[in-house]
Chain A
């Protein structure tokens, strides 16, 4: 197909680029600490108004595009939704397709997939492009040709489990989680040998009976406890630790797994709604911290864990930060998991008044007033189960000292008594009303947050929520998209909008930037979400109506 001299040029390009680059974008989060920050300053506050489309690519699917492309050498790699249906390798300067990989995704997989059919992008390691798939497989492709090198089944999609996030590569181990806790899976993180795809270790996020931590589950409820790690991991090569957040416990009905009240006792349901620090070679859990013990609100702890070096107690501490679904912004020492600070990063958080710094536990509202339970309705609980921030990632800008967070301002009524019926049984579903705007007349927006002082610096309120992930640059800019399809550049100091472009479909994916031959590009994938609005009744319709379906990659530059 391709003459061999092109291969050689390819390899040379990759090699040359790697050695010449100060920092580009080789991984989902910009770096393995997920800071989503670039030193590139060619595009900056004084010239961003001249930003225009350099090239665009149609991804070949519509709906729920969540991919962040990565750059290796001068090749940009991006995935589409539905499988992914397509993985593209592109000339990052021109957009020309170098190769395309379209896996044979089982027909009808949409019926099994617990949630949406999204894919957040590929990972790269040592000449291999790594992709997690909806059918529960991880595949390694030759980065030059797109040929399959190995394929490993990680989890059975027929159980409703899917992979939607890129794996995390640490040393020579490819680490992935999976999603779909609803069907009673016990969550796990799996380490594969990068060269062969062979499974090296499998660490469950819920301890087996008899293991340490299993006593935090009532009866045998830990057997199928959920706590899946479906999102993005972070990796610290110095500490040799990989970090993942876990989702809520299963089943939703807390009375099965514990006391169904804020008197949690021993039944905190480890390690659901937690952050885990694991050794990448053995998969052993080194430390954990639980954000929401004995969760009853669906407050997944999966949001990305962002690295920073922050001043605490007179010294500079390597930390990880998380803007949790539950409304609190956590800062932990990433060497040992010690809680350094935790404060609400959105207004109106009422399920807990704060986090006790001594115990690390939330101080829940009295008398279970905001804790839904068996025949106990909780009204106007803020934030709602979508969270004060959902999966769309924040960025950390060490120059301004600020984190830029896409926030959500919704509350909910929650009670569990709706009868539902699906194959194999009737079950009690959660009855909830999510269409409750939080106080203040806005539904979300990008907030600049000082993680040391734990306070907001500026806040762009939005009338609709679910805006996209963030990118910040040394050019003084923060880039993000919104549900109406606008891709915007903001001044990181003030939040003022300096430039925008409508991509034609809602954006939730996070942008990235790269520089080649002295020219800086900014790239974002557009294509609106579907699964979340489906819950939301009339509000969901507003979200869906905000833009048509789509699926395209847009790359911008100054000239």
Chain B
């Protein structure tokens, strides 16, 4: 750790101990330097994140210092900033429980964002069906692009940049466009005198929430930021309106994907509560996915993980790997043998050791499932 950083740590500790009246220590905030309406390093308008982070800083008694990194690649940006202790809080990440980053915990969501239908005022769009027969512009590879392609029967034109899509709309080459709400809302408000009618939408990948992330081990900071954001809800809404974010109930264009029920751990992480470390370690292991197939506990995990050597439901044509024969082979000791083999592996036979990856409870469930297979 550099001298400077050490000194800052000491200052932060002192500040925390002495509370009000003490020297405010900088709270380092990571953001994209060129991402209006969210954040901008230079220029007259700084963006919603920057203004909100300053308000949060005020509540925490710490003055925010911004660390800038372009988010062409979100994960890379995280690796190069907060995950290297380059900053203390990251504005901002999808609050979605599915979006997990090893080494980070998130606050509760503080902002709703979505795509929006952009059209001349007067175009009535009550649902996706109203866009049939209309020429619709989308951003290349975006969820609206994917949605319309999946549904089929829509005349879409894809664009790399929002500007190109809006230009086509203005020229009458499109009847409507589905664009990224915050960006087009800001453009519409600031530069186009609110010329277009914006309708926020909802559905899988079309809308989401944002949360602030901090490094794991700093759950206390996450909780303080969380509390501040909660208190700043009215100001957050005001900032969203100031920057032209489309507000209001989203028009459902597609169903929302249900997050897997097995993700209680993930949602706890997302909520910023501290989680026992062995839970956190497991979130990256080949996990049991949503129990869509079969009601038998252990079966999903088995078929996700073990089946590619042992066959679906243990039915391998290779006799040594055929798990339906365990009882015939090992008689009364078969469960014990299974437990030992699963935990320790069998190096020479190519069976990995799973003891570090799965809990006793999970392994027991798998053995329970194996019991139902025995011939």
Contact = CB atoms under 8 A, between A and B. Distances in A.
Interface of A: 108, 110-112, 114, 160, 182-184, 218-221, 223-224, 250-253, 255-256, 260, 348, 374-375, 377, 379-380, 382, 411, 413, 417-428, 431, 433, 435-442, 534, 537-538
B142 interface: yes
A435 B282 CA distance: 12
A419 B72 contact: no
Interface in B283-308: 284-287, 289, 303-305, 307-308
Contact count band on B: 35 or more
A418 B98 contact: yes
Contact of B284 (A114, A252, A419, A537): A537
Contacts of A422: 71-74
Interface of B: 32, 34-35, 69-77, 79-80, 93-94, 96, 98-99, 102, 113-115, 139-143, 145-146, 149-150, 156-158, 160, 162, 180, 183, 204-208, 210, 257, 281, 284-287, 289, 303-305, 307-309, 347, 349-352
Q: Which 6 A-B pairs have the closest CB atoms?
A: A441-B350, A251-B141, A537-B284, A111-B70, A425-B180, A380-B308
Contacts of A421: 74, 93-94, 113, 208, 210
Given A413-B304, A426-B208, A420 B94 contact: yes
State the main secondary structure of chain B at its contact with A.
mixed
Contacts of B69: 111
A221 B113 CA distance: 26
A419 B204 CA distance: 9
A251 B287 CA distance: 27
B72 A183 contact: yes
B254 to A, nearest CB: 11
Given A419-B98, A424-B180, A160 B72 contact: yes
B50 to A, nearest CB: 15
Residue among B72, B79, B158 with most chain A CB within 10 A: B72
Contacts of A436: 286, 305, 308
Given A220-B158, A433-B287, A441-B350, 20 more contacts: A160-B72, A224-B140, A251-B145, A374-B146, A379-B304, A413-B286, A417-B98, A419-B98, A419-B205, A420-B74, A422-B72, A423-B32, A423-B34, A426-B142, A427-B143, A428-B146, A436-B305, A441-B351, A534-B76, A538-B281
Given A111-B77, A422-B71, A425-B142, A441 B352 contact: yes
Contacts of B94: 419-421, 426
A426 B207 CA distance: 8
A394 B99 CA distance: 37
A439 B351 CA distance: 9
B174 to A, nearest CB: 13
Nearest to A439: B309
Given A377-B289, A424-B180, A426-B208, A224 B71 contact: no
Contact of B350 (A108, A160, A379, A439): A439
13 contacts: A111-B70, A111-B72, A220-B157, A253-B141, A379-B304, A418-B99, A420-B99, A421-B74, A425-B139, A425-B180, A427-B143, A428-B143, A428-B204
B72 A256 contact: no
Contacts of B143: 426-428
Contacts of B208: 419, 421, 426
A418 B304 CA distance: 19
